[in-house]
Structure 1
Amino acid sequence: MSLREPPAWDGPSADPNDEQFGDIVEPITLDHASEFDTVLVGEPYDGAVIGRRGAREGPTALREALTGVKTHHFDAGPVESVGDLGDVEVLDGDVSTVQESIREITREIHASDALPIFLGGDNSLTYPNAAPLLSESLGVVNFDAHLDCREVRGEPTSGTPYRQLHEAGLDAYACVGARHFETSTAYAEYVDEQGGEIVTSEAVGDDVESAAERALDAMAGVDTVYVSVDLDVLDATAAPGVSAPTPGGLTTRELFRMLRIVAADDRVAGFEVVEYAPPLDSRELTAAAGARAIAHFLSAYDGDSS
């Protein structure tokens, strides 16, 4: 398993005062990852998607969208110190083989001092992205319309990563933005049996800060927190370019606010944005939302505290 050479970054604005992510992200090799607070890692794979495919094109499109996003957050100031390791070279094979081969490289990335930001790719890769962190007590905050804790029947899918992580020793789990009538009773009961927390999209709409705090309260006692954003957590009007867009989801503003709250937790050790499928997008709405989700997360993450 290896990483492809990262692309060049260049902000598209002609105004020299417009510092954009294209101006600050530096293509790097894994040997230099420790010199950066955060590193981007693309995962062009959608071989395990239950619904509509297209997420293999997500990493390139998310980078393109992020390139033109300005680095300044009014409260936190500019984002700095971001490297790009390029894309994981995904081998041919069944899903289990792909997961194990990707886990080899994610283990090396986690071993550096930089926080990895995985650009998906489908949700099945959450398992190899987070699994190297199971050497310590680990909790996952999952922003998602679905619980993704299906049983593995034959091969893993985009709906099985949290079942796999629980069976491998996951200590805590919170799903934020889950939708009524999008999850089977058996899976809701499974999460309850594991002691997990389900924060519905309605609860987020009632009180964003309280919803984020409920998720973090569920992480009590763990040493490490991994954060996942499946872009189908957003309402279909904001994110049509996903495998399973549905109504009743979060607004972008709600998601961005919660990401800043969670990213400020000094136990955060990994972040991902998954399930963006450019061929299914409309007017690049989902790309814009995904890129800004990354920017908001970075604005609150303190590389010196983890």
Structure 2
Amino acid sequence: MTGLTDPAPWEGPSSDPNDEQFGDVVEAADLDSAGEYDAVLVGEPYDGAVIGRPGAREGPAAIRRELAGTKTHHVERGAVDSVADLGDVEIPPGGVERVQNAVRSVTTDIHATNTVPVFLGGDNSLTVPNAAPLLTHSTVGAISFDAHLDCRAVRDAPTSGTPYRQLHRAGLDTLAVVGARHFETSTAYHDYLAEQGGRVLPPDAVGGDPLGAVDEALAALGDVDAVYVSLDLDVLEAAAAPGVSAPTPGGLTTRELFRMLGRVAGDPRVAGFEVVECAPPLDDGTRTARVGARAVAHFLSGLGAAR
């Protein structure tokens, strides 16, 4: 039992023989073969912990569908290859803690392979099991592209708003949040993050110099051994990504986000990446899923999966 479903076949929809799309290059893999690839995709169809509006359980399928039709060529880095799909994590019934524990048993095995996992969410509560296995062997810093800090106190049960409080308790060394909105997260949680030595870069600190901003975020992590990167699509301006649990105005542009993802992926300490809170039932057409797919493509191009 691997806790993973069999990956569905990938196929590029273009009829042009000169087109190479992700659907043409992503291969099916399992845990035994995962280490042969630079990166592996892992779906996490779950939204049982979301604070806002549900729908993110449909995110993995939608992001895969949009990615399959996305061309592999980055203008500056060349074409992406060496990517596989491990299928979806099997989500058990029950409460959030049970789900987090079950997912962690799978992600622990994935992190043990010689590849970088790219988790397709799913809600932000699964950031905990996605990143926690790294804490057992390394010092770890996280970069979170998010409109919110997600460090609420855990009360009755974990939620999509508590992952970084949980990870700090488990040993996360430091956190930098890029794109957090003014007037969106309460003072108590900003104070908490400051007490943990965290760094917050709001959208106006990114505009004009996104590469400088992400370099500042990486520098804020210090000399940690591993870096985990999380993208909550609500970090974007609401018009660019309406299909999220909690869209808010004043966010990043897609151009800023894509440049930063390509940059951060080039850090050799990066040990995992996730895209969360893509909720197709809340979307305007396929706008948000398409942005999520492009975000994955930009991350992969920066990771070094380019020929």
Q: State if a TM-score over 0.5 links the two structures.
A: yes
Contact 1:41 1:87 in 2 (8 A): yes
**Aligned residue number for residue 99 of structure 1:** 100
SS at match of 2:33: helix
Among 150, 160, 163, the alignment partner of 1:161 is 163
TM-score by length of 2: 0.98
Give the CA RMSD over aligned residues. 1.0
Deviation at 1:169, TM superposition (A): 0.6
Task: Report SS of the residue matched to 2:262.
Answer: helix
Alignment match, 2:44: 43
Q: Given that residues 43 and 87 in structure 1 are in contact (C-alpha distance below 8 angstroms), is that contact kept between their aligned partners in structure 2? A: yes
Q: Secondary structure at the match of 1:42?
A: strand
Partners of 1:35 and 1:221 in 2: CA distance: 28
> Mapping of 1:247-266 within 5 angstroms?
247-266=249-268
Query: Partner letter of residue 130 of structure 2?
Result: N
- Could you give the per-residue CA deviations for residues 22-58 of structure 1, whole angstroms, max 9, x where no partner exists? 0000011111101111000000000000000000000
Partner of 2:14: 13
- Aligned residues of 1:266 and 1:302 also touching (Cα < 8 A): no
Contact 1:150 1:187 (8 Å CA) reproduced: yes
Aligned residues: 304
Residues 157-214 of structure 1: CA deviation (Å, up to 9, x unaligned): 0000000000111111000000001000000000100000000011111421221111
Cα deviation code 1:47-85 (max 9, x no counterpart): 000000000000000000000000000111000100000
Amino acid of the structure 1 residue aligned with 2:170: A
Contact 1:179 1:201 survives alignment (8 Å): yes
Supply the distance in 2 between the matched residues of 1:211 and 1:104 (Cα, whole angstroms): 34
CA displacement at 1:303 relative to structure 2? 6.1
Name the amino acid aligned to 1:73. Answer: H
Q: Counterparts in 2 of 1:1-306, with a 5 A limit?
A: 2-135=3-136, 136-302=138-304
- For 1:262 and 1:177, how far apart are their aligned partners in 2? 15
SS in 2 for 1:198: strand
Give, as a single letter, the amino acid of the residue that structure 2 aligns with 1:64. R
Q: Is the 8 A contact 2:147 2:179 kept in 1?
A: yes
Report if aligned partners of 2:81, 2:305 keep a CA contact under 8 Å in 1. Answer: no
3-state SS in 2 of match to 1:222: coil
Comparing 198-207 and 275-284, the one that deviates more: 198-207
Matched residues in 2 for 1:23 and 1:258: separation? Answer: 26
- SS of 2:97 mapped into structure 1: helix
Provide the C-alpha distance between the structure 1 equivalents of 2:52 and 2:75, rounded to a whole number of angstroms: 38
Name the SS of the counterpart of 1:30 in structure 2.
Answer: coil
When structure 1 is superposed on structure 2, of 161-170 and 205-214 the one drifting more is 205-214
Distance in 2 (alpha carbons) for counterparts of 1:167 and 1:129: 15
- 1: CA distance, partners of 2:201 / 2:120: 24
Aligned identity (percent) is 66
Question: Are the counterparts in 2 of residues 11 and 19 from structure 1 also a CA contact under 8 Å?
Answer: yes
